[in-house]
Structure 1
Amino acid sequence: MMRGSGASKDGGAMVTVADIIALPAFTRVEPIAPCEGAERREVRNVGILDCPPDYNEYSVYKPGELILTNLGFAYGNPDLAEKSLLAMMRRDVAAIAIKTVYEPPISDAVRAASEACGVPLYLYDGAYHETVAYQSLALIQRDRDELDKGRALDELMVAHDGDRVRMRLSSLVGVTGSKLQCFAFALRAGDTCSFYAMLDSVSLAMAGGGGLRKEFPAIESVGVCRYREHILAFVSYSSANEEERSAAEERCLAVAAQEAGLYGGASETMHLSDGDLAIRQALAAVASAQRQGRRLVRWADLHLASFAIAARHDRLFMSASELHRSKLAAYDEGHGTELVRTAEALVGRHGDVKAVADELHQHPNTVRYRMRKMKAVLGIAREDDKALVNLLSLVFLPDLAIG
């Protein structure tokens, strides 16, 4: 009985059944029974099944493993094949791939169990089990390495240090140069395509064969890696003139927008030492692209929403916002008023009292009375209405709808 080394990971494994069956060792893969979410199941290890479940009901195999077999040990015995496959499904393995060497017998009971318990079964043609296992375990190791890069990027963004950012990005993704732009990609919802197939596609489009670099000398380096559930591409620019760098940037954006099956977000171009900010911008932009169903969103496209996003990531700003908000909320709770709701409407209507009154179905004088009350509660009773609206715009900035 051959099994791969343990490949369990902390923090969100990304290798899925879709990733595995997309490997070149598989030449044809056919699902045996419908199984919802089959290709999204995580694969933590690989095992080769070459014996019946006589010893401890296959306890040596662990949940999350991809099982490879040709059922040769059953010698064409349909009862033994059925018993073995049902026992393996009870282990909650990730999937079972059966090589079509001996025309393996698959019973109706096995098909029904696969559909019921969610463990997919596949018939496949392709390489020997050892080759499939080798490629699968190599992918799992690659995933582990990419996860390590993600942790390193997390550390980068905890506390900004320009020199450290520059050196770490150079070591992680090989980017150099004076200016940097980050692109973030996310799979479209419900897309069962292999994450790593998309990672390779982005790598080929952005960095493969030095195509962009050959076309635009202003591009000094390109690096691609995984960051959590995203793909990040880093494009660095040399100290070329602004016209050359702008043309190269537009070409990169066009390439990014062509990636089928992906949402994209692009940061602004900034100094390499501010690469952590570029990552944050790209991630915020791709999140907006997902919400809006747009192929690609640039950080600059977010306009006012970019300030809302920035505010949410600043603890001091959020503390000041919560302080003022809590004063209004506490007054509402104690007096049965609607100062918070009115304040939000004032921000949304840019201080237009009549528009706020229409929205709240109140008389404009009622809105003005509430504004006076807000100023008293917030300790700015002597300020004019414009100053109040300016303050409320900052207090409620983190709540701004962004897509």
Structure 2
Amino acid sequence: MALTFTRPLLLALAIAALSACQNKSEPTPTIPQPIIESNRLRYPAEHPQLKLLVSVAAQPAQSITVELPARIVWNEEKTQRIYPAFAGRVGRIAADVGQRVRAGQVLAELASPEFGAAQADTTRTQADARLAQQNLQRQRELFEAGVLARKDLEQAEAEAARSQAEAARAQARTRLYGSAADVNQQLTLRADIAGTVVERNINPGQELRPDNMAAPLFTVSDPSSLWVQIDAQEADLPDLRPGARVALVVPSLAQEPVQATVQAVTDQIDPLSRTIKVRATVANPQRLLKNEMLARARYERQVGQSLAVPASAVFLRGSQHFVFVQGAPGLFETRDVRVVHEGPQRTLVGAGLREGELVVSENGLLLARELRLAQEATHTGGQLK
């Protein structure tokens, strides 16, 4: 039986055959693989991976710039934090944040029954001391008249001395907080140093208890001089001795680094951060630096004769550092090096490189992978023979 095809069917078959011919993919040219030569890897010319491998020359360096994390805090030698010595209620506030105060100036007043009890104790002990003194005078007169024994006179002298000491103690206590004898229950908070009120945690009518104070009522400090707390490593200690100068860089301020002077270095290592605390002092005449600002302390460390390469060019195999050195175009070899210093941007090499040699600084991991694959392929091929 003969088959008959309609015109639309023939047209559809022709289009399908043409599409099948167009969908046939042409064979992709094979990219030649790099060749391993001992610890060297040779890429064929025009290999696409060569464009990814960027090399730079090793440059001589005698010093490096070290940056350490730092934090700006109040100068504790010029700072006073004021807490209440007695419980009470805030009656009057005489100072606010940003206000300059002099030594002895009143910051606030509290109505304190506890302080009133201390004032009353002072008044009582003073009255007892006066009475004991009068009694001693009478005992002396009787002793001189021959009607009193020496033992009784000595007892009166001892009682008078005890009363005087107790009165002096109570009076010194109340005088320390602004009152010598009067019983007015007014506890006065004063600044003992001249400076600026940099913190205030007190409100009118607030009830205060000395045993429940999480923060000081007032903090008075001199913002023109601040401390810098630096987290140093053990290798930084020879350079960060008292008197050394460091440059303080504050990222939040668009200004030149300011100079700070190291004042003290702790004798212990922080068990959590494994850092050593270094304290420096920085002048702040324009008051641009603020308490709790984060900064970087920068200084130059002398390292002798060495070569500087990018930190991304150095790799670690076990305990040995190595780099990829580019010889002829497309030829790379691994080279063991001795690292003098590892920084976030640069690494200093003391041995294993010569000045001017090219080291791979970008995509070195790709080169390491290709070298490993080539070594594995060579090793496998040798076992199959």
TM range (shorter): under 0.3
Tell me which of the two structures has the higher relative contact order, counting C-alpha pairs closer than 8 angstroms and 6 or more residues apart.
2
Compute the TM-score of the two structures, normalised by the length of structure 2. Answer: 0.17
Compute the TM-score of the two structures, normalised by the length of structure 1. Answer: 0.17
Larger Rg: 2
